[in-house]
Amino acid sequence: MLTTLHFSVREATLPEDPLIAQHFYQLWLAHQLTPDSLNPDWLNITLEFIADARQRLSYQAFVAEVEGKVVGSASCQLFAGLYPLVFNEQYRKFGYIWGVYVEPDYRNQGIAKHLTHCTTDYLKSIGCTQAVLNASPLGKPVYTHLGFTEANEMRLDLV
């Protein structure tokens, strides 16, 4: 028998920043990184990043709940840029989505899709012209289904 999971999504609150950071940490572990590959001060680094993004880059996070338990989260903000931002905002004001995470027991139920919709709606509301994210192999089908297109990122190992 197929049951439908009932969940709700809302804006995250400031006291939930450590939970958002924990989800971000779990995201890296889900990408086959080991705890020793991450900075031992990952929590403070992530909390400082969120605080700075909230202050400078219109940061907003969303959480998904099932029966009052937070089971997923996603963050978004203005894209800080990799190079000088020389374009007019009407032409290019990118938003960046990061840290989309759903606990394993709650995956494949539409939660990541709904969280991502919340982030894109928020980015639209602050005038972004495009949303950018880096997708994991598991996330790619979700984002493709939502209309995201693959972009050209090229890498060269220097080690």
Average pLDDT, the chain: 92
Per-domain residue ranges for the chain? 8-145
pLDDT of the residue at 138: 82
Q: Give the count of beta carbons closer than 10 Å to the beta carbon of residue 79.
A: 19
What are the tens digits of pLDDT across the range 20-52?
Answer: 999 999 999 988 899 999 999 999 999 999 999
pLDDT in tens, 118-156: 999 999 999 999 999 998 888 889 999 999 998 877 778
CA dihedral 115, 96, 140, 147 (to 10 degrees): 80
- What is the mean pLDDT of the segment spanning 55-79? 97
In whole angstroms, give the CA distance from residue 150 to residue 110.
21
Supply the CATH classification number for the domain 8-145: 3.40.630.30
* Per-residue model confidence (pLDDT) at position 115: 98
pTM over the 0.85 mark? yes
